[in-house]
Amino acid sequence: MKRFNKIAISAGALMCSMLFASAEPAEKKEKPNFVIFVADDMGWGDSATYGNPLIKTPNLDKLAAQGVKFTQCYSACGVCSPSRAAILTGRTPYRNGVWRHLSGNHEAHLRASEITYIELLKEIGYETCHVGKWHLNSKQQFNTPKYPQPGDHGYDYWMYTHNNASPSHKNPDNFVRNGEPVGEIEGYSAQIVASEAARWLKDIHDPKKPFALSVWVHEPHSPIATDSKFEALYKGHKNSKYMGNITQLDHALGQVMEALDKAGVSDNTFVMFTSDNGPVARYGGTAGELRGGKRSSHEGGIRVPGVVRWPGHIKAGTVSDTPVIGSDIFSTILAITGIDLPSDRTIDGVSMLPAFEGKPLTRRVPLFWRTHVSAADNRMALRIGDWKIISNDEMNKFQLYDIQKDWKETNDLSAKMPEKTDEMKKALFEVWKGIEAEGPKEWWLGERNKPVKGGKLNY
């Protein structure tokens, strides 16, 4: 049983019902649907939408043209498991317990005591579905009743893999549907995931109920396999396999958008596209001109695509430089549906609703990152306003950047501005102290400095 307070529907619910009310009875179409589409290892510079001159992403372009493109959207961590846990819980990874990637065997997992937005939506009548990568428990914990699985976190239906598609994106054989192994599936992972989402929406979902759908594709994470029709778009380019892989996942996004159209629910559906962390350069990924990539707490490791479409509520073609983060998804969905934030725990994310209207966001907890496998000099970072401080793991060496002006992080101001550095250090120490007091620190004490076995980037 969950250890959290009974859900309180706030006065905001009344406002919400007024906002979405129509001539239909209240139960029918007043509640919006939610689709959260997450790419795996896709960099800030890996799409035409974010300025790549070669990679074709027509569906992401279309989504941005119909909604808002955030130029400063962040993942909650520089690696995948932690950032995904933050999306579901609204809590920074060390606080929710998924402080590291969960590729091998480890005790860390998304605990049953955590509250996901999926559970809260289900409590008010939503149907819920997850398709694609999961990666919120370790290898020996996957698909066993001894540890929480998607159904324990609120999903009615799920088809998932533990981590990567195996043996690659082509003809994967490691999907599990509602606890039962599926076996080899012909095709490519992103299209398989999108097709399952479309099938669920068409054949399984009750159209009388609102829904929340998580679509977490594997592309462009290694081991990469790209359909020849997408790779052919970049014939002759040395990076054609990776570039085609991005277009492959973009095509899957288009499949989901088409499924929403066919179901007649696009106008009443909140769709967000993002990535779990920055890119891997050796496989062909790019963070544009940002510093760093996957694993890093520099911008290239944590600044990711972030596009939201919500017809009638977000002006089409909007571009926003308001900083938002994956953990904000939780608070945003609760704000839209009129559900109170849980009162028995710290929620780090805030509602993005003001940002949809071009207004700033007010944060009680500053933007914070800790990535256990980043380089020794950039394990932690915190941003307040335009200022970002980066710390080593011991929290005794610091970098300071005016990130709005110096988004490439080329000019460390820590020595030139000692007072500002001290101010930011104090804030960093305070935030970390609160996280350390609340999170399951027994899971990470003594482990966070261990080297990655073999140095292989397999997560």
The 10 Å Cβ neighbour count of residue 417 is: 15
The answer to whether 287 and 64 are in contact (CB under 8 A) is no
Helix, strand, coil abundance in the chain, percent, nearest 5 = 35, 15, 50
Cα gap 110→88, rounded to integer Å: 10
127's CB contacts (< 8 A; 6+ apart) are 156, 205, 206, 209, 210, 211, 212
The answer to whether 173 and 166 are in contact (CB under 8 A) is yes
Cα gap 219→190, rounded to integer Å: 7
User: Coil, strand or helix: which one is 384?
Assistant: strand
- For the record, the structure tokens of 222 come out as 């290694």
How far out from the chain centre does Cα 321 lie? 18
80 in active site: yes
How far out from the chain centre does Cα 119 lie? 17
The answer to whether 370 and 77 are in contact (CB under 8 A) is yes
- For the record, the structure tokens of 419 come out as 């007072």
- Helix ranges, 183-297 (H): 189-199, 228-231, 240-263
- Amino acid at residue number 229: K
CA distances, 202 to each of 130, 206, 260, 265, 308 (Å): 15, 9, 9, 11, 23
128's CB contacts (< 8 A; 6+ apart) are 118, 121, 122, 154, 155, 156, 157, 211, 212, 213
372 in active site: no
Helix (H) or strand (E) holding 430: helix 418-438
The answer to whether 275 and 38 are in contact (CB under 8 A) is yes
DSSP state of 137: B
Cα gap 46→288, rounded to integer Å: 8
DSSP state of 63: H
DSSP state of 282: G
451's CB contacts (< 8 A; 6+ apart) are none
Main-chain phi, psi angles of 304, to 5 degrees = -135, 170
Active-site residue (options: 16, 73, 77, 80): 80
Active-site residue (options: 109, 130, 135, 153): 135
Catalytic residue set? 80, 135
